[in-house]
Amino acid sequence: MPDKKDRFKMLLKEKGLKVTTQRVDILEALEMRPDKHLTAEEIYEIVKEKNPDIGLATVYRTIQLLAELNLIDKLNLGDGYVRYEIGNMDEEKKAHHHHHLICLSCGNVLTFQGDLLDNLENQIQKSMGFEVVDHEVKMYGYCKDCAAERKKE
Ligand SMILES: [Zn+2]
Ligand SMILES: [Zn+2]
Ligand SMILES: [Zn+2]
């Protein structure tokens, strides 16, 4: 398996960016926590452990840049924070990794792997002539624990 770091370095080069430690570190921080949906501040805390000299402003700027190039995805999960996750780095595959399930009671965000929307996309293409290239799904409801709690009440 190619080293993750090397892959990030290649991607940055492909996008015409200089390879810098903070860029690689931010990608790595997100890659290692695919289900965490980190805020910029949380990313900063993680990256700072390895690079004590890094500033929050640099982290913000780097995140913006990486998001513009789709190396990371910006998320709004309805809790008032802007969150980030690693983007789909595989250009061949359709940009996709998981769907978000948001608990209205405890606020937890669960992820659902797998995609059952191919049919819907085909239908849209057929009936509207609209070529779908990506989608984002947020399901609102109650997680298992909260659903059980609610039944008790
Ligand atoms: Zn996610
Ligand atoms: Zn819950
Ligand atoms: Zn999907």
Question: Of 78 and 109, which is predicted with more confidence?
Answer: 109
Q: Please, are residues 44 and 59 in contact by the beta-carbon 8 Å criterion?
A: yes
**Looking at this protein, which amino acid is placed at residue 49?**
E
Tell me if 143 is assigned to a ligand binding site: yes
Residue 33 or 43, more confident: 43
Fold of 94-153: Dna Ligase; domain 1 (3.30.1490)
Is 135 labelled a binding residue? Answer: yes
**Residue 113's pLDDT band (cuts 50, 70, 90):** confident
Which one of 3.30.9.10, 1.10.10.10, 3.40.50.1970, 2.60.200.20 gives the CATH number of domain 1-93?
Answer: 1.10.10.10
Q: Identify which of 10, 16, 22 has the alpha carbon closest to the alpha carbon of residue 56.
A: 22
**Measured in angstroms, how far is the CA atom of residue 96 from the centroid of ligand 3?**
6
Q: Where are the alpha helices (DSSP H) in 32-83?
A: 40-50, 56-68
Q: How far is the CA of 86 from the centre of ligand 3 (A)?
A: 15
Q: Ligand 2 centre from 147 Cα, in Å? A: 7
Residue 97 labeled ligand binder: yes
The domain spans of the chain are 1-93, 94-153
Q: Regarding beta strands 98-103 and 138-141, do their DSSP bridges make them parallel or antiparallel, or are they unpaired?
A: parallel
99 labelled ligand-binding: no
* pLDDT for 91 beyond 70: no
Quick one: which H or E segment has residue 140?
A: strand 138-141
Q: How far apart are CA 84 and CA 73, in angstroms?
A: 6
Tens-place pLDDT, residues 42-64: 999 999 999 999 999 999 999 99
Instruction: Give me the phi and psi of 107, to 5 degrees please.
Output: 80, 0
In 1-108, DSSP assigns E strands to 38-39, 72-76, 82-86, 98-103
Does 94 have pLDDT greater than 90? no
The chain-wide mean pLDDT, for the chain, equals: 89
Q: Check residue 78 and give its pLDDT.
A: 81
